Amino acid sequence: MIRRLAAVLSLLAVGLAVFLLRDAGADAEVNAGVDAGTPDRRPVAGEPPGGADRHYARMMREHHDQAVRMSRTLLAKGGAPERIRLIAEFIEHDQQREIDQIDAWLTAWGSPPAGDPAATAGSGPDAASHGMLTAAQLAELDRADPARAPTVFLRLMIEHHRGAIVMSRSVLDLPAGNAYIRSLAKHVINEQTAENEAMTALITG
């Protein structure tokens, strides 16, 4: 179990380093990793999006926003074990980067994000279907003291990631779709599955 956790955390660390290099200006081929689940970075890549593509982008943006808030809440409390802190930092960076990409994609295709869903809990009829946490669940993390918060964070983030994976598999089940959305969905499945393995290992010891 310890070896498996170390391996997963090593992969996450490598992934974070890659994203930091890209953000610093590394010039990568945008299509090279589509099949492997690396998002295509061009905002207008692929065929014009359909309604399902736009819906997925908006829902995943909201979903990512909530994960960023959860990570920042934990990090602000301080005192989290190093491995949990590293996962929270990775999630915050990775998902904020994807939020910026999704916003650029929506704007490029004439669908700027509506309003500011930042840090909101799922409350609409579709909330449960795309894995958003409730206001009560977010409040549990907000209220948790620094000693208990890491465990609460792991439990809630695992549930949150499962919702994102279900959403992403659903959009990939469609017969066609925009190339950026499909590459984003593959990335979400791969990245968040690895993160869930790491977080589950931390909970179970």
Nearest alpha-carbon partner for 99 in 188, 193, 198, 195? 188
In the numeric block, which tokens belong to residue 197?
A: 């393995």
Fold of 2-23+49-204: Ferritin (1.20.1260)
Write out the H or E segment, with its range, that includes residue 4.
helix 2-23
Position 17 confidence tier, pLDDT thresholds 50, 70, 90: very low
- Residue ranges per structural domain of the chain: 2-23+49-204
**Amino acid identity, position 12:** L
In the numeric block, which tokens belong to residue 103?
A: 């916003």
Write out the H or E segment, with its range, that includes residue 64.
helix 51-77
Please name the residue ranges forming H helices in 78-204: 82-108, 135-143, 149-172, 179-204
Q: pLDDT tens for residues 128-153?
A: 456 799 999 999 999 999 999 999 99
pLDDT of residue 137: 95
Position 47 confidence tier, pLDDT thresholds 50, 70, 90: confident
Write out the H or E segment, with its range, that includes residue 52.
helix 51-77
The whole-model pTM stands at: 0.77
Burial class (CB in 10 A: 0-12, 13-18, 19+), 95: buried
Start-to-end C-alpha separation, the chain = 8
What count of other Cβ atoms lies within 10 Å of the Cβ of residue 143? 10
Dihedral sign, CA of 189, 193, 199, 203?
positive
Q: pLDDT tens for residues 56-101?
A: 999 999 999 999 999 999 999 999 999 999 999 999 999 999 999 9
The answer to whether the beta carbons of residues 70 and 156 sit under 8 Å apart is yes
In the numeric block, which tokens belong to residue 69?
A: 């808030």
pLDDT of residue 205: 77
